Amino acid sequence: MTRAIILAAGEGNRLRPHTEDRPKALVPLAGKPLLEWQLEVLGRVGVSDITIATGYRADQLESYGTRRVHNPRFDSTNMVVSLIAAREQLLSGDDLLIAYGDIIYQPNIVKALLADEADVSITIDLGWQSLWAMRMEDPLEDAETLRLDDDGNVIELGNPPKSLDEIEGQYMG
């Protein structure tokens, strides 16, 4: 059975003012919170054992009928501490999908990820530059390095880039 942990503890400061009164996973897109889009896609591909790692305004996530774990230090830590809060699910041995609470995937992307035979797989946006150009004037301010070897394996991820040449794509979360 495939399980999922959705990381939804952060305040979503870059989404202000939309997150002043709600967690970023509940920011609406096309009339529905981001989390609902994500839960719908996970359900469509057969993932029903879902844990949400909460933090900021956690009470608003109680109605989503999934298991929840809480990161009480969400305002001073990062997603690793939220994963530690979900350690029971991390260590269960079943297949596990970890996703940020503010990311929406198409079902075909999730299916491909779940079908991959590697021990660890990630999704990469190879066309990332057009999105970053809409988000900010200088994409290097927020982008991270991502380099692949000739076999498509990630050999570098998550460092501040000095140039666009160090970025072959962006980790999708």
**75 or 24, greater pLDDT:** 24
Mean of per-residue pLDDT scores for the chain:
86
Identify the pLDDT of residue 51.
93
- How much is the average pLDDT of 66-77? 84
Distance from C-alpha of 161 to C-alpha of 170, rounded to nearest angstrom: 12
Q: Is the pLDDT of residue 143 over 90?
A: no
- Neighbour count for residue 131 (Cβ, 10 Å): 11
Set out the domains of the chain in order of their start, with CATH numbers: 2-119 (3.90.550.10), 125-171 (no CATH)
Q: How confident is the model at residue 127 (pLDDT cuts 50, 70, 90)?
A: confident
Q: How confident is the model at residue 52 (pLDDT cuts 50, 70, 90)?
A: very high
Q: Is the pLDDT of residue 13 over 80?
A: no
Q: How confident is the model at residue 86 (pLDDT cuts 50, 70, 90)?
A: confident
Distance from C-alpha of 75 to C-alpha of 17, rounded to nearest angstrom: 17
Of 105, 101, 104, the residue nearest 26 (C-alpha): 101
Q: Is the pLDDT of residue 94 over 80?
A: no
- How much is the average pLDDT of 104-132? 86
- How much is the average pLDDT of 32-59? 92
Identify the pLDDT of residue 84.
85
Q: Is the pLDDT of residue 37 over 90?
A: yes
Q: How confident is the model at residue 93 (pLDDT cuts 50, 70, 90)?
A: confident
Identify the pLDDT of residue 119.
82
Q: Is the pLDDT of residue 90 over 90?
A: no
Spell out the long-range contacts of 108-115 with Cβ–Cβ below 8 A and sequence spacing 24 or more. 110/41, 110/42, 110/45, 110/47, 111/45, 114/2, 114/45, 114/47
Is pTM beyond 0.85? Reply is no
